[in-house]
Structure 1
């Protein structure tokens, strides 16, 4: 990933020095040292990504807005429960939401730049389902680490909260349609809560650029949008991303194949008809989760401490500023069904 000298300059010097010092201390504690300057790779309104060359290879530093600061502790926990599925961190500071990680190798997107391969997406989805099944028993522990609790039983209240939030801008007809949808949304959530599938970590931004292919197996990263939720909600972003990446028809057999690759590890006590019904419901319910994720990120961007790190209020693109309302508007529309 290329660096941008302007990104370094955009950060407050005091914060930059503080994070540099923390990285140096953590590296020294591990018996390593930097072999070059720290460079800022990317500054977004909700996260900062930096890198430093060291005696053991490139190391990556990530900081999140306060509402997403759980990522550091969650990645550390995932590395304990499922070390083959993530990049175990070198150090974390849960209080500040700082994460220090070794280089994970190329992303799946970079590895497929010349020849995109849907089979690798099928592998991605199947492997992610394995991770969800492995982590499901630890849901309460993840919530204790700060992971947002968006289990189906909590989602009706979450939708009501969004509709009552004066910062969420909705056209009057959209708001009316959402209010009319509340009883049906409540039924969807109740049905998902009773389908027998365990809530688990839901990445909520799973696509080919958030997966490493370094080593023998795919490993997942960038957990700042994650939540504890019905596991199938992960398909909302991933299937849409695959459709855009390959130009697939959202209702076509190619996406159905990817969906089925994800569902295969879940077969067993649940019949296929039940699994497909849960997919349909989870794709609708998860749109509220996406709205909550954007609200959390945008609210964090207004935090005084975060803005002090950035050297002032961040610039937020119009499509990001309107994302909460856009996801709620999508809730009024059926999600295309592959197959």
Structure 2
């Protein structure tokens, strides 16, 4: 059983909660599936009102698999129950820890919070009373649809780019998704897409544009599959649906841009790439885990060739349209009567084939990749021969990688310049995906 850990800060101090385990002191551990269960467990054990704000570190062990260290905000002023104690940075060195790797995590946490500010504490959903505001708003909006909440709104999961909460209703369940200002188009876009494609989107119950909230009805029981060779056939009609949506929205690009979708059409990408590379602070150049100075120079030198690639892509005859940059198996629900595609926050107006690349990003099986790529490209057969479409798909490799980096930049914008722990290195990793294209160019020039 995998044990994850939680950092619970003491309000107004730099201390965190530790508990005594047989092997030494530890952060509170748990093996629960979701934020609501974790929050409730910590409240029961320690008498503290906490809200999960995201994970700040992750590890992979051969025996334990993947495990996380989560961060919470603590709205309580009471002393903890259960024999736990508050520990500050001065005591860390003298403590025996049951899990030695937590020492580095705690040291970094204390360094990040030396000014008394929690790294994720400024997120809207970390604020005390936020969930009560959500609960009141959700109940009112449900009543407008003749629905009744049969329980409290409970947090489902949280990251810097979104917080999802669930409420049981008289007919099933509903979900509230909150996003930061950098992704504020998602509620508007999802509502519009639900109007245009009601069979493919969750039913939207309400939108609060000022607070960037989206309330949707549960799609009901559904199955999830990983896109392996065994299950590839299940995803072929999904990709056909994506292509059909793209062909439709190719006539609605003005509407999509007006809804706030970022403009990542091929003509816009070279300028966006240059702007991204100019913001050097986010790449931690020369630091451990950051981008090397050599790689940054390579990417800058690659800009003219990248612009030529984008020009070829723009001239390839495919229309600019809706692109779902997180169009993977994890955002597809095979419900009983329909297949639903959700989580449209990382969408843009872009080349349609970027969505195929997004889908194939996590498909490791080469047979499945070939089958799904062929199935999707077949939907665009009136725009060229299979060979021509395959060639156009190859042109999208670097532009789609840049689009993904831009999605990460928007997702992390809520953190500002202060990006703690695992989030600190995301942009360096994202732009590093473009380095092979720059290296290939430089080696070709030398040859």
**Structure-2-length-normalised TM-score:** 0.66
Deviations 1:148-171 (A, max 9, x none): 111110000000001100333131
Which residue is 1:268 aligned to? Answer: 382
Q: Post-superposition shift, 1:317?
A: 4.5
Which residue is 1:258 aligned to? Answer: 372
Which residue is 1:172 aligned to? Answer: 293
Q: Which of 389, 407, 424 in structure 2 is aligned with 1:321?
A: 424
In structure 1, stretches of 5+ residues that fail to align are: 304-312
1:213 paired to 2:246 = no
* Bigger Cα Rg: 2
Partner secondary structure for residue 242 of structure 1: coil
Partner secondary structure for residue 412 of structure 2: helix
Deviations 1:174-195 (A, max 9, x none): 1121112111100111111122
Q: Distance in 2 between matches of 1:204 and 1:106?
A: 25
Which residue is 1:296 aligned to? Answer: 410
Q: Which of 115, 119, 137 in structure 2 is aligned with 1:22?
A: 137
CA contact (8 A) 1:156 1:185 kept: yes
Partner secondary structure for residue 86 of structure 1: coil
Q: Distance in 2 between matches of 1:200 and 1:107?
A: 29
Which residue is 2:189 aligned to? Answer: 74
Q: Distance in 1 between matches of 2:309 and 2:221?
A: 39
Q: Distance in 2 between matches of 1:113 and 1:183?
A: 36
1:89 paired to 2:204 = yes
1:136 paired to 2:246 = no
Q: Post-superposition shift, 1:331?
A: 1.1
Q: Distance in 2 between matches of 1:115 and 1:254?
A: 4
Q: How many corresponding residue pairs?
A: 316
CA RMSD of aligned residues (A): 2.4
Which residue is 1:147 aligned to? Answer: 261
Show the 5 A alignment for 1:50-69.
Answer: 50-69=165-184
Change (3 A) 1:316 1:222: farther
Which residue is 2:71 aligned to? Answer: none
1:4 paired to 2:37 = yes
Deviations 1:51-71 (A, max 9, x none): 001112100000011111211
Q: Post-superposition shift, 1:254?
A: 3.3
Q: Distance in 1 between matches of 2:437 and 2:337?
A: 38
Q: Post-superposition shift, 1:273?
A: 2.4
Show the 5 A alignment for 1:105-254.
Answer: 105-106=220-221, 108-109=223-224, 117-169=231-283, 170-243=291-364, 248-249=365-366, 253-254=367-368
The structure where strand makes up a greater share of residues is 2
**Structure-1-length-normalised TM-score:** 0.86
CA contact (8 A) 1:45 1:316 kept: no
CA contact (8 A) 1:5 1:40 kept: no
In structure 2, stretches of 5+ residues that fail to align are: 1-32, 41-48, 52-125, 284-290, 439-447
CA contact (8 A) 1:32 1:55 kept: yes
The structure where helix makes up a greater share of residues is 1
CA contact (8 A) 1:152 1:189 kept: yes
Which residue is 2:64 aligned to? Answer: none
Q: Distance in 2 between matches of 1:113 and 1:230?
A: 23
Q: Distance in 2 between matches of 1:202 and 1:128?
A: 9
Q: Distance in 1 between matches of 2:261 and 2:349?
A: 7
Deviations 1:243-281 (A, max 9, x none): 1xxxx14xxx43111101111111113222221122111
Q: Distance in 2 between matches of 1:115 and 1:188?
A: 32
Q: Post-superposition shift, 1:289?
A: 1.0
CA contact (8 A) 1:89 1:102 kept: yes
Q: Which of 22, 36, 42 in structure 1 is aligned with 2:151?
A: 36
Q: Which portions of structure 1, spanning 4 or more consecutive aligned residues, are displaced by more than 4 angstroms? A: 111-116
Partner secondary structure for residue 49 of structure 1: strand
Which residue is 1:99 aligned to? Answer: 214
Q: Distance in 1 between matches of 2:252 and 2:167?
A: 33
Q: Which has the higher contact order (CA 8 A, sep 6+)?
A: 1
CA contact (8 A) 1:40 1:50 kept: yes
Partner secondary structure for residue 146 of structure 2: coil
Q: Distance in 1 between matches of 2:227 and 2:239?
A: 19
Deviations 1:109-161 (A, max 9, x none): 3x569996121122322221122112221111111111111111000000000
